[in-house]
Amino acid sequence: MKMTKVEQKTIPLNGDEAVAYAVKQCDVDVVAAYPITPQTIIVEKFSEYVANGEVDTEFVCVESEHTAMTCSITAAATGARTFTATASAGLALMHEMLGVASGSRMPIVMSVVNRALSAPLNIHCDHADSMAQRDLGWIQMYAENSQEAYDSIIQAFKIAENLEVQLPIMVGIDGFVLSHTLENVTVLPDETVKKFVGIRQIPHVMNHRGEIVPFKLDPEKPLTLGPVALQDYYFEHKRQQEEAMKKALKVIKQVHNEYAKQSGRSYGNALVEAYRLEDAEIVTVCIGSTAGTIKTVVDDLREKGIKAGLLRLRTFRPVPVEDIISNLSGKKAVAVMDRSSSFGGNGGPIFIEIRHALYDVSDSPKVVNYIYGLGGRDTRPIMIESIYKDLQNIAKTGQIENKIQFVGLRE
């Protein structure tokens, strides 16, 4: 990617601060949020911006995450650009409203600071919270580091508000690992971001008077939003959401490339990032911050002549099936890393997607699953090395001993 002419500055920010900083620059109209560890810094920081007049935003400090999401929905329905943030139990409490947000086609941007779900209570990172929401019609993206968190939030507004998409987006950042760790983050000038996201565009629809009106609550052009749709129409609405997801695949790339021109930063092809994959024989697949650890292990293995590689999913919903196939077919063995468990399921949520995508491929690799890092369990390079060692064995023998394993657990 060509370097940009825009003057950027580099400042130390943790993941939460990076998110708040991006939101500050995006000319957001309404932020409705409720604090929860490890997301708290985002709302605290944003409250400071509001208190100091650094943003022109209505900040609604609500009484629960359920209301945070509800306010976001109706504020967006009124025409406002909206943002919220949460984690873990807060996301679980929003569950009901997440489906309303996507079904009502509200382009809300939400940062999810990934944290384990109770019980037992745990405040540290895993992906159980957002994985439990994966079928609700939200676009899901996961950042590897604070820089990407910053960049992704800005892109998210433009993706969500795209007239062909009109879907809510959650951007996941790993709790504590990213949220509370200082990093040097390069930020764009305020004006550049403001221009990049622009003013929220609103599609047009037909109302009950037979008029074509802006898709928002406007007394001059009334419309009814959120009706009862029964056996005769509910299905058609769900089909529309599938179509929007399909379109999002294209738009996520477009926005990412456009942003790359401004910032000089890019993340693979926006949907997936392939790391030393071209000639790789054994590959891990992951989302989020663990990719950073894996990359160093891959570099070490490469020095030893082992053909290791990594495929990081940046976008998990919609699933980039084509990219999974093109990057993984022909490989010898693939280990999918899941930082959440689908209890009683046939592997973790990412594993299920990857293995399924490769089912119809003639030169499909052997695919195994590693559940790791639940409740913030540290994921050390030695664990990743052991996974690649397993993959080497599978590649050599063609035999899978254990399809689903737990790594970093006291057996």
Partner 1 sequence: MTEWKVTGKEFAKIPEKFMPGHRACAGCGPAIALRLVMKAARGPVIATNATGCMEVVSTIYPNTAWDVPWIHTAFETAAANAAGIESALKILRKKGRIKDEHIDVVAFAGDGGTFDIGFQALSGAVERGHDFLYVLYDNEAYMNTGIQRSGGTPHGAWTTTSPAGEVIPGKPQYKKPIADIMVAHEMPYVATASIGYWNDMVKKARKGMEINGPAFLHSFAPCPRGWRSETAQSVEISRLAVETCVFPLWEAECGEYKLSPKSKIIAMKPEKKKPVEVYLKTQRRFRHLFKPKNKHILDEIQNNVDRRWKKLLKACEIE
Partner 2 sequence: MSPQKKNWKEIPIAGVCWVPSTDYKTGDWRSYKPIWNIEKCIRCMNCHIFCPEGAVTYNEEQNVMVYDYDFCKGCGICANECPAKAIEMVMEGKE
Binding status of residue 235 toward partner 1 by CB under 8 A: no
Q: Which of 33, 91, 100, 116 binds partner 1 (CB under 8 A)?
A: 100
CA 82 – CA 31 distance, rounded (Å): 6
How many residues interact with partner 1 (rule CB under 8 A)? 49
Residue 383, number of CB atoms within 10 A of its CB: 20
Tokens (6 digits) for 133: 């929401």
Q: Are 223 and 207 contacting, i.e. CB atoms less than 8 angstroms apart?
A: yes
Looking at the Cβ atoms of 55 and 185, the one nearer to partner 1 is 55
Looking at the Cβ atoms of 50 and 404, the one nearer to partner 1 is 50
Binding segment (CB under 8 A) for partner 2, from list 113-121, 151-159, 209-217, 334-342: 209-217
Looking at the Cβ atoms of 222 and 398, the one nearer to partner 2 is 222
| Nearest approach, Cβ of residue 234 and partner 2 (Å) | 9
Tokens (6 digits) for 192: 């550049």
Report the partner that residue 166 touches, choosing among partner 2, partner 1, none (CB closer than 5 to 8 A by kind).
partner 2
Tokens (6 digits) for 149: 């968190």
Report the partner that residue 88 touches, choosing among partner 2, partner 1, none (CB closer than 5 to 8 A by kind).
none
Binding status of residue 240 toward partner 2 by CB under 8 A: yes
Alpha carbon distance, N-terminus to C-terminus of the chain: 46
**Which helix (H) or strand (E) element contains residue 185?**
strand 183-187
Residue 191, number of CB atoms within 10 A of its CB: 10
- Phi, psi of 337, rounded to the nearest 5 degrees: -100, 120
Q: Which of 5, 53, 224, 305 binds partner 1 (CB under 8 A)?
A: 224
Q: Which of 105, 204, 109 is nearest to 156 (CA)?
A: 109
CA 309 – CA 321 distance, rounded (Å): 19
What does the binding site for partner 1 look like in residue numbers (CB under 8 A)?
Answer: 29-30, 32, 56-58, 60-64, 66-67, 70-80, 82, 96-97, 100, 104, 199, 208-209, 216-230, 232-233
Contact positions toward partner 2, by CB under 8 A? Answer: 103-105, 166, 203, 205-210, 215, 223-227, 229, 232-233, 235-237, 239-240, 243
